[in-house]
Structure 1
Amino acid sequence: MSSPVSRFSCPMALLPDGWARDVVIDVGGDGRIASLASGPMSGEGERLSGPVVPALADLHSHAFQRAMAGLAERAGPGDDSFWTWRSQMYRIVGRMTPDDVEAIAAKLYVELLKGGFSHVAEFHYLHHGAGGVPYRDPAETSHRILAAAARTGIGLTHLPVFYAHSNFGGAEPGEGQRPFLHDVDGFLSLLERLAPACGTAGATLGLALHSLRAATPDEVRAILGAETTGGPIHIHVAEQEREVEECLAWCGRRPVEWLLDEMDVDPRWCAIHATHMTPDETARLAASGAVAGLCPATEANLGDGIFPATAYRAAGGRFGIGTDSHVATSVAEELRLLEYGQRLRDRRRNRLVAGPGASVGRTLFEAALAGGAQACGRAVHGLRVGAPADLVVLDGNHPFVAAAAEGEGEDTLLDRWIFAAPDVLRDVLVGGRVVIRDRRHADEDAIDAAFLKALRRLQ
Structure 2
Amino acid sequence: MSNLFFAAALLPQGWADNVAVALDGRGRIASITANAACPPDAERFDGAVVAGIANLHSHAHQRAIAGLGEMSGEGTDSFWSWRDVMYRALDRMDPEDFEAVAAQLYVETLKAGFTAVAEFHYLHHDRDGSPFADPAEMSHRTVAAARAVGLPITLLPVLYAASGFGGTAPTHGQRRFIHDGDAFVRLTGALHRAYGRDDDVRLGIAPHSLRAVPERLLADMVAAHPAGPIHIHIAEQRKEVEDSLAHSGRRPVEWLLERAPVDARWCLIHATHMTEAETRGVAQSGAVAGLCPTTEANLGDGFFPADSYMAQGGRWGIGSDSHISVSPVEDLRWLEYGARLTSGRRTVLAGGPRRATARRLVEDAQAGGAQATGFDAGRIAVGQRADLVVLDTDHPLLAARRSDAWLDSWIFAGNAGLVRDVIVGGRVVVRDRRHPREDDIAERFKNTLGRLLG
Matches within 5 A, 1:270-309: 270-309=267-306
Q: Which amino acid aligns with 2:406?
A: L
1:367-421 CA-partner distances (Å, limit 9, x unpaired): 111011000112453100111101111113112324113xxxx101010000114
Q: Which amino acid aligns with 2:216?
A: D
Q: Give the alignment's Cα RMSD to 1 decimal.
A: 1.0
Q: What corresponds to 1:220 in structure 2?
A: 218
Distance, in Å, in 1 between the alignment partners of 2:443 and 2:376 is 37
Q: How much does 1:458 deviate?
A: 1.2
**1:209 to 2:202 alignment:** no
Q: Is the 8 A contact 2:377 2:387 kept in 1?
A: no
**1:453 to 2:434 alignment:** no
Give the 3-state SS of the residue equivalent to 2:379 in structure 1: coil
Give the 3-state SS of the residue equivalent to 1:179 in structure 2: coil
Matches within 5 A, 1:429-448: 429-448=423-442
What count of residue pairs does the alignment treat as equivalent? 450
Q: What corresponds to 2:26 in structure 1?
A: 30
**1:121 to 2:118 alignment:** yes
TM-score if structure 2 supplies the norm length? 0.98
Give the 3-state SS of the residue equivalent to 1:131 in structure 2: coil
Q: Which amino acid aligns with 2:224?
A: A
Q: How much does 1:103 deviate?
A: 0.5
Distance, in Å, in 1 between the alignment partners of 2:197 and 2:437 is 22
1:26-59 CA-partner distances (Å, limit 9, x unpaired): 1111011111102111221111131101111000
Distance, in Å, in 2 between the alignment partners of 1:49 and 1:12 is 8
Q: What corresponds to 1:381 in structure 2?
A: 378
Q: Structure 1 residues 269-278 or 412-421, which shifts more?
A: 412-421
Q: What corresponds to 1:53 in structure 2?
A: 50
Q: Which amino acid aligns with 1:65?
A: Q
Q: Give structure 1 stretches of 5+ with no counterpart.
A: none
Matches within 5 A, 1:9-24: 9-24=5-20
Q: What corresponds to 1:412 in structure 2?
A: 405
Give the 3-state SS of the residue equivalent to 1:160 in structure 2: strand
1:127-182 CA-partner distances (Å, limit 9, x unpaired): 00113111100000000001001000011100001001000010000000010000
Q: Which amino acid aligns with 2:78?
A: S
Q: How much does 1:18 deviate?
A: 0.5
Q: Which of 244, 248, 251 is 2:248 aligned to?
A: 251
Q: Which amino acid aligns with 1:40?
A: A
Q: How much does 1:200 deviate?
A: 4.7
Give the 3-state SS of the residue equivalent to 1:277 in structure 2: coil
**1:134 to 2:128 alignment:** no
**1:182 to 2:179 alignment:** yes
Q: What corresponds to 2:307 in structure 1?
A: 310
Q: Which of 419, 422, 425 is 1:425 aligned to?
A: 419
Distance, in Å, in 2 between the alignment partners of 1:380 and 1:345 is 33
Distance, in Å, in 1 between the alignment partners of 2:202 and 2:28 is 16
Distance, in Å, in 1 between the alignment partners of 2:439 and 2:158 is 31
Q: Structure 1 residues 395-404 or 127-136, which shifts more?
A: 395-404
Q: Which of 310, 321, 324 is 1:324 aligned to?
A: 321
Q: How much does 1:25 deviate?
A: 1.1
Distance, in Å, in 2 between the alignment partners of 1:362 and 1:299 is 23
Q: Is the 8 A contact 2:423 2:429 kept in 1?
A: yes
Q: What corresponds to 2:397 in structure 1?
A: 400
Q: Is the 8 A contact 2:52 2:378 kept in 1?
A: no
Q: What corresponds to 2:90 in structure 1?
A: 93
Distance, in Å, in 2 between the alignment partners of 1:290 and 1:210 is 17
Q: How much does 1:449 deviate?
A: 1.1
Q: What corresponds to 2:103 in structure 1?
A: 106
Q: Structure 1 residues 274-283 or 412-421, which shifts more?
A: 412-421
Q: Give structure 2 stretches of 5+ with no counterpart.
A: none
Q: How much does 1:312 deviate?
A: 0.5
Q: Structure 1 residues 106-115 or 199-208, which shifts more?
A: 199-208
Distance, in Å, in 1 between the alignment partners of 2:12 and 2:431 is 25
Distance, in Å, in 2 between the alignment partners of 1:380 and 1:420 is 27
Distance, in Å, in 1 between the alignment partners of 2:310 and 2:392 is 31
Q: Percent identity?
A: 56
Q: Is the 8 A contact 1:114 1:330 kept in 2?
A: no
Q: Structure 1 residues 137-146 or 445-454, which shifts more?
A: 445-454
Q: Is the 8 A contact 2:3 2:39 kept in 1?
A: no
Distance, in Å, in 2 between the alignment partners of 1:94 and 1:399 is 45
Q: Is the 8 A contact 1:128 1:180 kept in 2?
A: yes
Q: Structure 1 residues 390-399 or 423-432, which shifts more?
A: 390-399
Distance, in Å, in 2 between the alignment partners of 1:149 and 1:378 is 15
Q: Which amino acid aligns with 1:325?
A: S
Distance, in Å, in 1 between the alignment partners of 2:92 and 2:206 is 24
TM-score if structure 1 supplies the norm length? 0.97
